[in-house]
Structure 1
Amino acid sequence: MSFIDSLELVEAESVSALDTKLAEDVAELLVARAAIGDVHIAVSGGSFAQRALPEIVAVATAAGIDWARVHVWFADERFVAADSPDRSLLLVRDALATAPGFVSDHLHAVASADSAVNVHEAATRYAEVLHATVTRTHAGAPALDCILLGMGPDGHTASLFPGMLPTESECTAAVTDSPKPPSERVTLTFGTLAAADHCWIYATGSSKQEALTTVASNPSVDACPITGVRAQQSVRLYADTAAIPEDLRTATKFIQN
């Protein structure tokens, strides 16, 4: 099945309304999974970590989640110094600081550039920790409960960029020539995304319209990496009205408002 055929579109008129809807849906999933055991999610940095993640933490906390059962991973991370403001860890850690009972060791950070490893070793170490910690697997990859992704104006997601997709079959990959600075990153691979129960994509603003117009035409994954996203149960796009072209509404079978 193609990406567009499997995509669920969740639209809100404003970014704030979208953040609320995403937070409610993620919180519902987290609370249900945490009630029966450990839950593993991967998150993105950028606007997702700044706006959506604090809302998710607040809504899940109000719903009574047991934060001690939640493990948080990174869809990708910039390979920079530990205290660099470019590091997604800092925003994510700040958001989770308001989650009562969250275990600090359950925030699984990628090694930093000043930790005496190179980006390839950082990717390998992250894969090793994933395999050792996440007990469920699918097709040999760790099976996370939910991966929360962003999307760039060029259609990239995580650090999977047009024309430079990783060839590694491992669950993580090193990126050495990112077109967006910083150039070195560690990313989850398409195999890890596909092994997850859910992959939910967060895209806001008119700058995303061009990429989402391309998505509606069912392009190659190499040209528009977001179209390579698969999951075991659902692939969902959360977008505000400003981001969504009419072509995408027409092409998508399921729209949730």
Structure 2
Amino acid sequence: MVDNPGQPGQPPEHGGRVRRDGYARLNAADLGIDTAALAEDFARLADTYQDLPPDPYARETRRFRRYSHAVYLPWTGELSYIPGAPDEEFGSVTEYWQDEHNPEYPRMRRRLPDIPEALHGNRLLDILVRADLDRALWLEDLHRVPVYVGIHLISLAVHDRAQVAVSSPNCLHQDGGSPATFTFAHLVGRWNVKGGENVIATPESAGRTPDTLPSEAIHDRFVLTEPLDGYGVHDRRVSHYVGPVHLGDGGSDGRRDILIVGIAPYTPGL
């Protein structure tokens, strides 16, 4: 699916379908990414998923993750990573807070392992983040404030048929905080797994699972299969979900690796 084809000979509308519909499915071509030219950077990003630590707050969920903050200045185009806090187990950690919008961790400030510093200069990661920003910065609230960018590496991995890997929260949800919050997801890899269906639904569907909804409440449902396939959502206008992952039929190891980019305005503290 093309994010926003526009008219022949004309550039696409700023923000594309995320602006028009509140969500859009995206792929490498939609984002203007030359996958051949960035093959080495993609390989380095994909390698990072091989040793992601278990989610320290839910080690039994078969969910592995790293997370870091960055700040983007719209008036200069500068993207700068924020150093994490020292941590004995993980080296450094960054605080992750979803207010009341994650029913599994309401108002809990979780401290998650930082992404490796080597990724700060990864060209593919930088291009993905900036492509996502381009689909959010049509919103006036993001033009004159520093923009918060949360960069999340998540792997759902299973090693036998008894295991089930689940995301958090395991229901339709919004990421919340501000009317100017956006969430983008980009598939890095998928091997020998079943499930992992994505669902986009009405905002009123948050807190429910797709099988409890009437059909008219669901905007779209799909499975990401190709590298850099993904989607973007304007958080206040929809809810979103990814289903559990089970082992496929191709062996004893399966995984779904995803990059999540969250975008929101920084709120002044004085």
- TM class, shorter-length: under 0.3
Which is richer in strand?
2
Which is richer in helix?
1
TM-score, scaled to structure 1: 0.27
TM-score, scaled to structure 2: 0.26
